[in-house]
A and B are shown apart, each in its own frame.
Chain A
Amino acid sequence: MSASVLFDQPGPRARRNQLIAGIIGSLVILAILGYLVYRMYETKQFTARKWSIFTDPTALNSLANALINTLIAAILAIILSLIFGAVFGAMRVSHNAILRTISTVVVEFFRAVPLVLLILFVFLGFADTLQSISNNLGITTVMDNAGLGKGQGALASLVIGLTLYNGSVLAEIFRAGVQSVPRGQREAAYSIGLTRSQTLRKILAPQAIRTMLPAIISQSVVALKDTSLGLIVGYGELVRQGQLIATGYDNFIPVTIVLACVYIAINYSLSRLAGYLSKRQARTKRLAPVKADPLLPPDTMIEIETERQLKD
């Protein structure tokens, strides 16, 4: 680790000290983990009864359907958020003061309010309407035949809540991206006679989307993780299905371990993709520093921070 500025390349004595610190640290961590495993053994978490559920085809099928439900909610939410983000992001950089004000109010409101509150609001107020729309369109029948449940009112509440929140965050990301494009580009576009909207569509937006791609992917990870909030409205996604199984078999620990692995596998790959894209961009293109904004969610913030460091 000679790359770190915090310490020198270790000599023999430092290496010995580090080894001792490493061993002590590992022992402490192992003691904590060992205690948890011991308690798991004591409370009979390793018995076949608590794990056999994962070999039962019916349970596996219900978990697979729940995973599909999670992905349906996530994909719908991400697509709609991107549209919402593009529209409101464009409004935020518009020259029309009214459009700018509307978009600012909407974006700031939905970023400051907890997602749980938004989902509950839509669900308690409009779930029945949303469900009957879904019934009329035949979506409920299709999904029910596929074994995915009849909770389209809950699904719609979840997706609308996620769209309002993630869309607002994406609008901010989009705005930051447009503003990071060098001024000269805009001036050049005007000078060859492009209108404002042409400049935004043809010159600024494509570059903004490219610079902001890592942040957009991180935001998708956030959206995917947040679909688990479907639990609060009874939507049959992964965590809720897991909870139902765990309540029946009293095996919360095994179920959590399995579900966490699924989420980590998906989200970690997406995060790696975001990291890869961000690194590739750092090589080809210099980013203007994005001003740290405390209202952006932590995931996105960290992404932006990393990009700024790459640039420096």
Chain B
Amino acid sequence: MTTTLLSDAGFSVFAQSGLTVLTSNIDKLLEGFGKTLALSALAGIIALVVGTILAAFRVSPVPALRAVGTAYITIFRNTPLVLLFVVFTYGLPGLLGIKGDHTFGFAVGALATYTSAFVCEAVRSGINSVNPGQAEAARSIGLTFNQNLKLVILPQAMRAVIPPLTSVLIALVKNSAVAEAFLIAEASFVMKGLIRDEPQALYWVFFGTALGYIIIVFAISGISRVFERKLEVAR
């Protein structure tokens, strides 16, 4: 590589060579970000569903279900994501007797399991933020718990819950970088490989990859702001 030969020639050549590493490998990085988005999107959808069900458990009148919800939150909010990744990718395939390479699927599982706990807490805080008068009115016209939750509370809670849920989803995208350590070729993994091969491109490759994540993060918060404005209600 000419860059190493020229690296003594001065900072401008040095810097340019780093930029070249970034631009000539941009397809690899984009592929990595594709995987990052795929991981996050799949885990996000599962986590939203499971987390909402858990939140319903946590506010339900049935003590056993409340206990299940609380236990889930306590366990998975306090366990490091990396540990979940270890047990999902090395332990679970053997336990469940699943053969073949399903690392991606198990990584999605680890991310979804972890994120569900945070989705649950976000949704629950949204439920709590709905004016009690609404629930009382719903009950007074004879709605059952299920109807009350489905027709009155959750639709309103979902609005209040957009900002905390956005923060959960942004955290999910950033957390998906952990998959790097489990040999999934997402963006951080690609960055690591590029820096290993071309150490002189450290800053360019790092800031290039960082920019990719920043764009995703700002896109998510932008979309959430649009939703928030659309769903805004006069109180």
10 further contact pairs, Cβ within 8 A, besides A117-B206, A256-B91: A40-B95, A114-B173, A229-B82, A232-B178, A239-B83, A242-B86, A247-B90, A253-B95, A292-B167, A299-B118
Q: Could you name 6 residue pairs across A and B whose Cβ atoms are closer than 8 Å?
A: A5-B136, A22-B63, A39-B96, A121-B195, A225-B81, A294-B220
Which of A4, A116, A259, A305 is close to B180, meaning CB atoms less than 8 Å apart?
A: A116
| B192, chain A: closest CB distance, angstroms | 6
Chain A, Cβ-Cβ closest to B173: A114
Which of A228, A268, A294, A297 is close to B74, meaning CB atoms less than 8 Å apart?
A: A268
| A18: interface (CB < 8 Å) | yes
Looking at the complex, which of A6-14, A146-154, A178-186, A276-284 is the stretch in contact with chain B?
A: A6-14
Contact A253/B177 with A124-B202, A302-B121 known, Cβ cut-off 8 Å: no
Is the interface on chain B under 10, 10 to 19, 20 to 34, or 35 or more residues? 35 or more
Looking at the complex, which of B5-13, B23-31, B124-132 is the stretch in contact with chain A?
A: B124-132
> A1–B175 Cα gap in the complex (Å)?
36
| A45: interface (CB < 8 Å) | yes
> Chain A: interface secondary structure?
helix
Q: Which chain B residues border A294 with CB–CB below 8 Å? A: 163-164, 166-167, 170, 220-221, 224
CB distance B80 to A225 under 8 Å? Answer: yes
> How many chain-A residues does the 8 Å CB contact rule pick out?
67
Q: Which residues of B contact A (CB under 8 A)?
A: 59, 61-65, 68, 74-75, 77-83, 86-87, 90-91, 94-97, 118, 121-122, 125, 127-129, 132, 135-136, 139, 145, 148-149, 153, 163-164, 166-168, 170-171, 173-178, 180-181, 188, 191-192, 195-196, 199, 202, 206, 209-210, 213-214, 217-218, 220-221, 224
CB distance B145 to A6 under 8 Å? Answer: yes
| A221, chain B: closest CB distance, angstroms | 8
Max chain B C-beta neighbours (<10 A), residue from A113, A116, A226 = A116
CB distance A293 to B163 under 8 Å? Answer: yes
